[in-house]
Structure 1
Amino acid sequence: MFNQKKFKALLVMKGKTMQNIADLLGINQATLYRKINGSSDFYRREIQAICTYLEIEDPNEIFFAQEIT
């Protein structure tokens, strides 16, 4: 499950915006929000591009976080 809080916190720390990420992926912001909200999935190349752009060492913490119930 995608960890929205960590992702948004990382954007703030890196001084980036959602529009920056959408532009990087070549998608519009609505599509990005659908991916973040779980309505659509991220492609592998998108995850790799985001990790490189934001200097994420462990994508599991954001893209594959386990939900504790």
Structure 2
Amino acid sequence: MEKREPYYKFKGYLAENRIQQKEVAKLINISQATLSKRLNGKGGDFTIQDLKKICINLNVSAEIFFNY
């Protein structure tokens, strides 16, 4: 499994808005542990369907997933 950059902007957004990782995990039907791995650049990546659900339900732009 290849390693990539963590989702720093998205992690920051969750912290700033007091959104718990378990809420996001439930939204996309994965465990909190799996979400944590994905956020930290380990254990796979989000699907397009996951990103759509997150963006719509948390009212964020998909750009938050890009580290630039």
TM-score (norm: length of structure 1)? 0.72
Q: Is the 8 A contact 2:6 2:41 kept in 1?
A: no
The reply to whether residue 48 of structure 1 matches residue 59 of structure 2 is no
Q: Is the 8 A contact 1:2 1:38 kept in 2?
A: yes
Which runs of at least 4 in structure 1 moved beyond 3 Å after TM superposition? 1-5, 12-15
SS in 2 for 1:19: helix
- Counterpart of 2:39 in structure 1 is 36
Identical counterparts, % of pairs: 33
Q: Which has the higher contact order (CA 8 A, sep 6+)?
A: 1
Name the aligned partner's letter for residue 64 of structure 1: F
Q: Answer 1 or 2: which has greater helix percent.
A: 1
State how 1:1-69 maps to structure 2 within 5 Å: 4-39=7-42, 40-57=44-61, 59-60=62-63, 62-66=64-68
Cα RMSD after superposing both structures: 2.0
Name the aligned partner's letter for residue 14 of structure 1: N
For residues 27 and 36 of structure 1, what CA distance do their matches in structure 2 show?
A: 13
